[in-house]
């Protein structure tokens, strides 16, 4: 199983050329003249954006009231230079206040990196996929490079902007002002706190932090008041850069793709992403950790790569059923470089994958080959519990192979294997959508779907609202911004309290 010969090892990135920020910017500017989709990858060079009353078609349901927050990389350029990778830009938090009308407010997270580079007018720190020559390959304090650009969560009353290798940043949920780094304790200050925490119905928040350089996997259990209740640090051999995980009633589940970090390569002067080494002979390892006592059980799956888990649950016999979007190799890494220069050629990406982890029979998986997509979510009430449906984005078979991203919203029935789809169209770049409960029953099932998409010809970002049980009927309401936001990553919906 552990075949690690030279013929079975390769940098996950395919050895992209050394970064040249000026050339990257020139290439992107040239491509923007003929490829309209590049508007989604343009840099936002304003510190703040605000529009109070967005033009609205249809009617916002009376039961949908609250704030739809999103986060993602948005400052891709400084001076004459442009980052080399899509995931490198500084994080900008978007707040869509949804009532009878919809407003928008966007503001950059004022990280230490953002403030230092704004003052200098140039890039000073390494990013995930861009190595800045002359800088330390591994900083003593990872928060020096923290861009807080992946997602958001609520921990107690705190709104947190999340990265992966470093701390969460506290954000004022009303003004979007950056309050500062959130440290769970003195011991955990600066430790990785990942971008996909899982919130249980009682308000308990579970998360992890992975440090591939030390092999440390830190586990966090945070109470409904936002205080750290329990923690543990496990040591995992060949620990990759984990992005997501799953929870069940009794366990935490981690899928470890065969992509550890080559420390020697990293120290030679490349970006973190370029130092990730794809070793398919390792297979995909699955680590199941007991919430009660941190005890561990291991499984093995075929070699593959993943970013996002939909959900998991276990039955009375201890069998865990899990759904995720899995790919045969880390091609999304490569696309992150090419898109920043205005280039794209589609290769099959991630597909819906269904896994069973049986303590007696081992692990099995089924790949749903007619559902290529990403960003799978379930209703908040069902996180860690049995559910029949997963909402995700899809890429239609008719989509132009030279246009990146997704053009469909898909509801997948796990038991039947069937899908319900809404096609935005070839001229759209669709972003993550979320399932939201009705204000009349906030602890009830999801009634609504809320998400953003970029209308490329109009160069406008649009917020759409669907009925959760009939997405194929199309949006019941849409609010259009007067501008295009850079394509983001993840978000959350926080209901109004009045």
Q: What tens digit of pLDDT does each residue of 194-220 get?
A: 999 999 988 999 999 999 999 999 999
Residue 154 main-chain phi, psi, to 5 deg: -105, 130
Please enumerate in sequence order all residues whose Cβ is within 8 A of that of 373, keeping only pairs 6 or more positions apart, or say none: 325, 350, 351, 352, 392, 393, 394, 395, 406, 408, 410
User: What is the pLDDT, as a whole number, of residue 3?
Assistant: 34
Cα dihedral value 416, 422, 428, 430, nearest 10: -50
Give the confidence band of 289 by pLDDT, cuts at 50, 70, 90. Answer: very high
Who contacts 26 (Cβ-Cβ below 8 Å, separation ≥6)?
A: none
| Per-residue pLDDT tens over the stretch 369-389 | 999 999 999 999 999 999 999
Structure confidence at residue 70 (pLDDT): 98
pLDDT in tens, 84-116: 999 999 999 999 999 999 999 999 999 999 999
Domains belonging to the chain, first-starting first, are 6-495 (2.130.10)
Cα-Cα end-to-end distance for the chain: 57
Tokens of 377: 């979510």
CA atoms within 13 A of residue 377's CA, in its CB half-sphere: 25
Closest residue by Cα to residue 487 from 412, 393, 396: 393
Summarize pLDDT for 338-360 with one digit per residue, the tens.
Answer: 999 999 999 999 999 999 999 99
Query: Which structure tokens are listed for 112?
Result: 């230490």
Q: How much is the mean pLDDT over the chain? A: 93
Of 216, 283, 211, 208, nearest to 251 by C-alpha is 208
The band of 291, judged by pLDDT with boundaries at 50, 70 and 90, is very high
- CA quadruple 210, 234, 229, 376: dihedral sign: positive
Residues paired with 448 in a beta bridge:
436, 467
Specify the pLDDT at position 77.
98
Q: What is the pLDDT of residues 441-491, one digit of tens each?
A: 888 899 999 999 999 999 999 999 999 999 999 999 999 999 999 999 999
Structure tokens at 305: 């790569």
Across the strands, what pairs with 365?
355
Q: Where does the pLDDT of residue 331 fall: very low under 50, low under 70, confident under 90, or very high at 90 and above?
A: confident
What lies within 8 Å, CB to CB, of 481 at 6+ separation is 51, 54, 104, 460, 461, 462, 463
What secondary structure letter does DSSP report for 30?
Answer: H
* Residue 56, token pair as written in the block: 């609205």
pLDDT at position 335 is 80
Look at residue 123 and tell me whether its pLDDT is greater than 70: yes
- The pLDDT > 90 percentage for the chain reads 87
Helical H runs in 281-339?
Answer: 331-338
Predicted confidence band of residue 121 (pLDDT cuts 50, 70, 90): very high
The partner residues of 289 in beta bridges, in order of sequence, read: 252, 296
Count of Cβ atoms closer than 10 Å to residue 391 Cβ = 25
């Amino acid at each position: 199983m552990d075949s690690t010969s030279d013929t079975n090892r390769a940098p996950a990135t395919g050895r992209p050329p050394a970064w040249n920020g000026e050339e990257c910017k020139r290439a992107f500017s040239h491509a923007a003249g003929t490829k309209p989709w590049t508007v989604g990858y343009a840099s936002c060079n304003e510190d703040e954006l605000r529009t109070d009353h967005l033009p609205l078609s249809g009617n916002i349901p009376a039961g949908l009231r609250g704030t739809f927050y999103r986060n993602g990389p948005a400052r891709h350029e400084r001076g004459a230079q442009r980052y080399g990778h899509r995931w490198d830009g500084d994080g900008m938090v978007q707040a869509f206040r949804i009532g009878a009308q919809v407003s928008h407010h966007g503001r950059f997270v004022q990280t230490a990196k953002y403030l230092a580079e704004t003052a200098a007018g140039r890039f000073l720190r390494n990013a995930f996929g861009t190595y800045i020559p002359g800088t330390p390959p591994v900083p003593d304090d990872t928060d020096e490079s923290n861009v807080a650009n992946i997602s958001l969560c609520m921990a107690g009353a705190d709104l947190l902007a999340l990265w992966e290798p470093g701390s969460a940043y506290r954000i004022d949920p009303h003004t979007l002002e950056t309050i500062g780094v959130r440290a769970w304790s003195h011991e955990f200050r600066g430790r990785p706190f990942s971008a996909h925490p899982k919130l249980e119905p009682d308000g308990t928040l579970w998360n992890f932090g992975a440090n591939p350089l030390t092999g440390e996997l830190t586990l966090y259990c945070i109470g409904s008041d936002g205080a750290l209740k329990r923690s543990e640090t496990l040591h995992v051999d060949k620990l990759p850069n984990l992005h997501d995980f799953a929870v069940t009633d009794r366990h935490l589940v981690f899928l470890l793709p065969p992509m550890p970090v080559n420390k020697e390569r990293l120290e030679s002067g490349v970006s973190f992403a370029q130092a990730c080494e794809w070793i398919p002979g390792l297979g995909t390892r699955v680590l199941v950790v007991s919430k009660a006592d941190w005890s561990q059980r291991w499984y093995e799956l075929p070699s593959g790569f993943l970013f996002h888990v939909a959900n998991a649950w276990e039955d009375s016999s201890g069998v865990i059923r899990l759904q995720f979007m899995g790919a045969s190799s880390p091609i999304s890494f490569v696309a992150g470089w090419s898109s920043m220069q205005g280039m794209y050629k589609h290769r099959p990406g991630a597909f819906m994958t269904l896994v069973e982890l049986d303590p007696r029979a081992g692990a099995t998986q089924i790949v749903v080959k007619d559902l290529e997509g990403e960003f799978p979510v379930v209703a908040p009430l069902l996180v860690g519990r049995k559910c029949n449906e997963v909402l995700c984005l899809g890429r239609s078979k008719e989509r132009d192979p030279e246009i990146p991203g997704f053009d469909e919203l898909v509801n997948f029935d796990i038991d039947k294997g069937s899908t319900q789809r809404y096609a935005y169209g070839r001229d759209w770049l669709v972003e993550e959508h979320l399932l939201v409960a009705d204000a009349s029953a906030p602890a009830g099932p999801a009634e609504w779907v809320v998400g953003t998409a970029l209308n490329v010809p109009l160069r406008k970002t649009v917020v759409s609202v669907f009925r959760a049980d009939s997405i194929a009927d199309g949006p019941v309401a849409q609010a259009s911004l007067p501008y295009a936001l850079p394509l983001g990553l993840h978000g959350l919906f926080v209901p109004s309290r009045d």
